[in-house]
Amino acid sequence: MNSMMLKMKWSIGLTSVVIIVGCGGGAEKNVVVIEKTKSVHTQECSRVYMARTKKVTIDDAKKMKFRPCPDCKPFHEM
């Protein structure tokens, strides 16, 4: 194999890796829950600043039947 073909083959392989990694990330968006109040928030919400929180996926928060924060509206962001 000449060096041009070798470079092209490596370049194609590298591109494939980037595409595969890029497609899989961020499929599930996380939200923050406050278990004491049974509420769901975005990470930027001011109500979570001093609270004990836990990160979960939106689907898990809905399954737990936690109510969305009326200020940050975490389920409307999607």
Domain spans of the chain? 30-68
User: What's the pTM value of the predicted model, to 2 decimals?
Assistant: 0.61
In this prediction, residue 40 carries a pLDDT of: 96
- CA-derived radius of gyration, the chain: 21
Is the pLDDT score of 69 beyond 90?
yes
In this prediction, residue 71 carries a pLDDT of: 94
Q: Tell me the CA distances in angstroms from 21 to 8, 24, 38, one per residue in order.
A: 20, 6, 34
Greater model confidence, 74 or 3: 74
Greater model confidence, 32 or 8: 32
